Chains A and B, each alone.
Chain A
């Protein structure tokens, strides 16, 4: 089964085609932990214990601060978008006309890209352990292990998410942009749910905390900026307030979180394969290559916008539902309205 899914020719092609992207990815991923450290070591004046970027590792282990520089996240998103998005320029039509299945194409891209990400995280971890042996640093081996495991899985998650979005977007920019939207989508939805439940249905605090926790576990960046796990903003009739430290532990279970991330990666990979197998590689020119993807994203945006606008003014349950339906339909109708106005003005101009 596995041998029929793996195609060595495709693995070779991915390496040969993207080797310069892989080099760039490696350099950018190693920029903060390795290159920056080496620069400070040879040209810096501060003692090692005061290097902020290494202190982040310790901060991460203790439950606060971001453990990964944004460079790393942007890099893996870009890599995921490039791996399939670049092929949308034309070579994909050649590739799918060869005797390989679409699942083999996606799997080869996933394996080669993931391999590069894991390799670089191993290099970074080895370097950090070496530094910890040589200098008095505020982190230990376990901290590095935890950092390496969660960061690698978050990177792989972002990479797989981008690969998945590339299956229905028509270029690199669209895929990359959509990933940033999707990364924060669970947080946005949970925000809307908690505010709605709190404002219109007087939901209990335990329900709100559960909803928030769920959203947090679905938000990839929360695995890195872990301090957010324990902060929940709530609203009541008169004011907003923050519930802090409700989960009772500063240090969430790394291995449980790792398991969630692995499951998420597998689901995203499966989704990527299923969508890619069904998609027609139709000519580009639109952000979303497929009509279904265009409709789906348009509806999602309309609902979210309608919801957000409703929350700002509706003060009763009845008004909430009425406004939500009305505003969603209005937002959905806007593109059609614009296109009709455009067509009318074009006709007028032509006349």
Chain B
């Protein structure tokens, strides 16, 4: 399997503020790859570098095997891009935008464009400046899908959209993947959407890669345990558990978020003393919140255990 995206030691800073630091990441071809991270993590900067908008300070990245530093724009012939706020031509009508797409992309599919336009109900004669935000996102998606992309880059496109439009948008993306095997590189804060569609996840924090792995691997590596002790316990005792990410408690019932192999965790001496150890389902959003909290990013940080990352995550970092 080849890589749809491959970044090698990418660096980017804005006026001495590091946006991306030594980022090495691979996105398998044909995957739906979710990019997550808090605000300011560097997700949009990475995407803007991949789409040729921003130049990296150091390092290189390859899209479908070709360097983003190539001066010719032909590398983007099969790359569709939908940004968070589509910046199209305000004085163009929807039809003009399609005409432009047809003239710029060699693989432009008129028929598919017509079908998608009909599905989304885009008003052909309306000027882009008069479209709502949702319609602009739909227009950008129709344009991105009409060029028959091998890679679709989405930068938080569904943020601020109503649930109906959001669902329609995701449906179109999922259909594209199912029918054509297009690689989707998807940055979003909506982790529920990602959980339903992504097969790989990478997390960025302060420009660094925290981890990059398949969704299944991720779910198997982070666990939430409810633990009840017969005798009173302190949090200090539980900090001895390797890979502890988060610890909350009410009375004698502790809720632990831990990374690592489940059996090995359960065999820790402190947990063997527990009267009950039960695994609780953890959503992607809960995993994300716990991981970010471990890195000092939370709404109200109250607990920061040391050495919270597993060996693999430390490697990735």
Q: Do A and B bind each other?
A: yes
Interface residues of chain A, those whose CB is within 8 Å of chain B, are 4, 7-10, 12-13, 16-17, 89-94, 96-104, 277-282, 291
Contacts of B90 in A (CB 8 A): 91
Chain B interface residues toward A at CB < 8 A: 14-15, 48, 51-55, 71-77, 79, 81, 83, 85-92, 96, 99-100, 103-106
Could you tell me if A17 and B87 are in contact, using CB atoms closer than 8 angstroms?
Answer: no
Q: How far is the CA of A281 from the CA of B53 in the complex (A)?
A: 6
Nearest B residue to A100 via CB reads B73
Q: How far is the CB of B146 from chain A (nearest CB, A)?
A: 13
Minimum CB–CB distance from B44 to chain A (whole Å) comes to: 11
Do residues B73 and A17 form an inter-chain contact, with CB atoms below 8 A?
no
Q: Cβ of B55 and Cβ of A279 under 8 Å apart?
A: yes
Q: Could you tell me if B72 and A101 are in contact, using CB atoms closer than 8 angstroms? A: yes
Query: Is there an interface contact between B71 and A103, defined as CB atoms closer than 8 Å?
Result: yes
Which of A4, A89, A91 has most B Cβ within 10 Å? A91
Q: Which residues of B contact A93 (CB under 8 A)?
A: 48, 53, 83, 87
Q: Could you say which residues of chain A place their CB within 8 Å of the CB of B48?
A: 93
Q: Given A91-B88, A94-B88, A278-B55, are A99 and B76 also a contact pair (CB < 8 Å)?
A: yes
Q: Are B55 and A104 in contact (CB under 8 A)?
A: no
B residues in contact with A100, CB < 8 Å: 73, 104
How many whole Å from B96's CB to the nearest CB in chain A? 6
Interface centre among A9, A89, A279 (most CB of B within 10 A): A9
* Given A93-B87, A99-B77, A102-B71: A280 and B55 interface contact (C-beta under 8 Å): yes
Give complex CA distance A280, B54 in Å. Answer: 4
Asked whether A16 lies within 8 Å of B52 as measured between CB atoms, the reply is no
Contacts of B75 in A (CB 8 A): 99
Contact residues in A for B79 (Cβ distance below 8 Å):
97
What residues of chain B lie closer than 8 Å to A96, measured between beta carbons? Answer: 51-53, 73
Nearest 10 Cβ contacts at the A-B interface? A9-B103, A90-B87, A97-B51, A99-B76, A99-B77, A100-B73, A99-B73, A101-B73, A9-B104, A280-B54
Q: Note all chain B residues with C-beta closer than 8 A to A4.
A: 72
Contacts known (A17-B89, A280-B55); A98 close to B15, Cβ less than 8 A: no
Give the contacting residue for B96; candidates A16, A89, A99; CB below 8 A: A16
Question: Please, which residue of chain B has its CB at the minimum distance from the CB of A8?
Answer: B103
Q: Which residues of A contact B106 (CB under 8 A)?
A: 99
Q: For chain A, what secondary structure do more than half of its interface residues adopt (helix, strand, loop), or is it mixed?
A: helix
**A91 to B87, Cβ gap below 8 A?**
yes
CB-defined contacts of B54 to chain A, threshold 8 Å? 280-282
Question: How far apart are A349's CB and chain B's nearest CB, in angstroms?
Answer: 24
How far, in whole Å, are A279 and B54 apart by their CA atoms in the complex? 8
Q: Are B87 and A94 touching (Cβ within 8 A)?
A: yes
A-B contact list, 11 entries, CB within 8 Å? A8-B103, A10-B104, A12-B100, A12-B103, A16-B92, A92-B87, A93-B87, A97-B76, A97-B81, A99-B105, A280-B55
**CA separation between A184 and B244, bound complex, in Å?**
67
User: A97-B81, A98-B105, A291-B15 are known contacts. Are A104 and B73 too (CB-CB below 8 A)?
Assistant: yes
Query: B15, B53, B74, B83: which contacts A99 (Cβ < 8 A)?
Result: B74
Complex Cα gap A281–B83 (Å): 15
**Distance A278 CA – B72 CA, assembled complex (angstroms):** 13
The complex places the Cα of A92 from the Cα of B92 at a distance, in Å, of: 14
B106 CB → nearest A CB, Å: 8
Nearest CB to that of B82 among chain A residues? A97
In the complex, the answer to whether A17 meets B92 with C-beta atoms within 8 Å is yes
**Residue among A12, A16, A97, A282 with the highest chain B CB neighbour number at 10 A:** A97
Residue from A98, A101, A104, A291 having most chain B Cβ neighbours under 10 A: A98
Nearest Cβ on chain A to B297's Cβ, whole angstroms: 23
CB distance from A287 to the nearest CB of B (A): 14
Shortest distance from the beta carbon of B207 to any chain A beta carbon, whole Å: 16
Give the CA-CA distance A266 to B15 in the complex, in Å. 32
Q: Is the CB of A13 within 8 A of B100?
A: yes
Report yes or no: A277 in contact with B71, Cβ–Cβ below 8 A.
yes
Docked Cα-Cα span, A97 to B75, in Å, equals 10
A98 and B104 within 8 A (CB) = yes
Question: Whose C-beta in chain A lies nearest to the C-beta of B75?
Answer: A99
Which residues on the B side are within 8 Å of A99 (C-beta)?
73-77, 104-106
In the assembled complex, the CB of B278 is this many whole angstroms from the nearest CB of chain A, namely 49
> Bound state CA distance, A155 and B15, in angstroms?
36
Cβ–Cβ < 8 Å partners of A7 in chain B = 104
User: Contacts of B14 on A, CB cut-off 8 Å?
Assistant: 282
A98 touches B55 (CB 8 A): no
In whole angstroms, how far apart are the Cα atoms of A13 and B91 in the complex? 11
What is the bound-complex CA distance between A16 and B96, given in angstroms? 9
Q: A16-B100, A100-B73, A291-B15 are in contact. List 18 more A-B contacts (CB 8 A).
A: A9-B100, A9-B104, A16-B92, A17-B92, A89-B87, A90-B87, A91-B87, A91-B88, A92-B87, A94-B88, A97-B79, A98-B73, A98-B105, A99-B73, A99-B76, A99-B77, A99-B105, A102-B73
For residue A294, give the distance in angstroms from its CB to the closest CB of chain B.
10
The residues of A that contact B81 with a CB separation of less than 8 Å are: 97
Q: Which residues of A contact B87 (CB under 8 A)?
A: 89-94
* CA A32 to CA B244, docked complex, whole Å: 79
Q: Which residues of the partner chain A approach B72 to less than 8 Å between Cβ atoms?
A: 4, 101
A100 → chain B closest CB, angstroms = 4
Known: A93-B83, A280-B54. A17 touches B103 (CB 8 A): no
Please give, as numbers and ranges, the residues of chain A lying within 8 Å of B86 by CB-CB distance: 94
